[in-house]
């Protein structure tokens, strides 16, 4: 059952596929990382890409790729058998370094939307399975870091989604009850985390998951985060 939207006092967003277009960021990242790790060997990059659900030649992710909802640690673990010449720490550092450089395309004009939401008195947060460093770098690129009251990655000490730790940390930091917060995300990991935290769950279709996949886990499904103001006003369904 959808909670009364008038009671929503905080919004916590996933990052990739929610605030930013997933494909524009991570397909470019995958090409750059794989070529770097493979030391420019395109055939090797193609081979390794296939093992993490990435078609190097088409530059497209499979919807079941570990990269989509996994943490950098999980991605590094999947890559390690193919790059045994790197230490675990070295591989993870390379992943995060390339992630920080990845180009960002905003799902909608973020400053305009976030200004509207803050103007409503809402507390805003980001909970991502990316590392916190790259997450902050991406928000800095969009000049929106100061708009958020809370930013957490998988390595910020609160765990990773679908566990609810990041979301509950946002609630604790802002002093809001979880049932007055909406979690907005593009994956079932996001929505399962929101449900476990006792929050309203709002799905958006700017990631790789379909409406049919997300709807069973969501209180509402929106085309993108630009529809949040209308949803909050009770006009968007």
Neighbour-count burial for 109-145, b at 16+ CB within 10 Å, e otherwise: ebeebbeebbeeebbbbbbbbbbbbbbbbbbeebebe
Token pair 């991570």: residue: 26
- What pLDDT is stored for residue 4 in this prediction? 47
Residues of the chain where predicted confidence (pLDDT) is lower than 50: 1-5, 235-237
- What pLDDT is stored for residue 2 in this prediction? 47
- What pLDDT is stored for residue 100 in this prediction? 87
- What pLDDT is stored for residue 68 in this prediction? 82
Question: φ, ψ for residue 182 (rounded to 5)?
Answer: -110, 135
Neighbour-count burial for 7-43, b at 16+ CB within 10 Å, e otherwise: ebbbbbbbbbbbbbbbbbbbbbbbbbbbbebbeeeee
The first and second tokens of residue 16, run together, are 């990739």
Q: Can you list the domains of the chain with their CATH numbers? A: 5-20+106-232 (3.40.50.1000), 23-101 (no CATH)
- What pLDDT is stored for residue 174 in this prediction? 98
- What pLDDT is stored for residue 22 in this prediction? 86
Q: Give the global pTM.
A: 0.84
- What pLDDT is stored for residue 69 in this prediction? 79
């Amino acid at each position: 059952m959808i909670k009364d939207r008038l009671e929503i006092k905080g919004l916590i967003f996933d990052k990739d596929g929610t605030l930013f277009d997933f494909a524009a960021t991570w397909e470019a990242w995958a090409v750059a990382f794989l070529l770097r790790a493979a030391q420019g060997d395109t055939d090797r990059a193609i081979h390794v890409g296939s093992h993490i659900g990435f078609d190097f030649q088409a530059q497209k992710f499979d919807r079941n790729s570990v990269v989509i909802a996994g943490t950098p640690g999980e991605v590094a673990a999947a890559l390690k058998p193919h790059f045994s010449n790197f230490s675990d720490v070295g591989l993870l550092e390379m992943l995060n370094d390339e992630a920080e450089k990845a180009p960002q395309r905003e799902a909608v004009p973020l400053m305009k939307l976030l200004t509207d939401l803050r103007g409503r008195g809402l507390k805003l947060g980001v909970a991502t399975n990316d590392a916190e460093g790259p997450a902050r770098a991406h928000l800095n690129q969009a000049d929106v870091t100061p708009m958020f009251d809370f930013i957490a990655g998988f390595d910020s000490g609160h765990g990773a989604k679908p566990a609810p730790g990041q979301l509950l940390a946002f609630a604790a930091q802002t002093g809001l009850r979880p049932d007055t917060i909406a979690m907005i995300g593009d994956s079932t990991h996001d929505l399962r985390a929101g449900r476990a935290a006792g929050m309203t769950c709002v799905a958006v279709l700017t990631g790789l998951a379909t409406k049919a996949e997300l709807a069973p886990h969501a209180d509402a499904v929106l085309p993108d985060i630009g529809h949040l103001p209308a949803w909050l006003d009770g006009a968007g369904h």
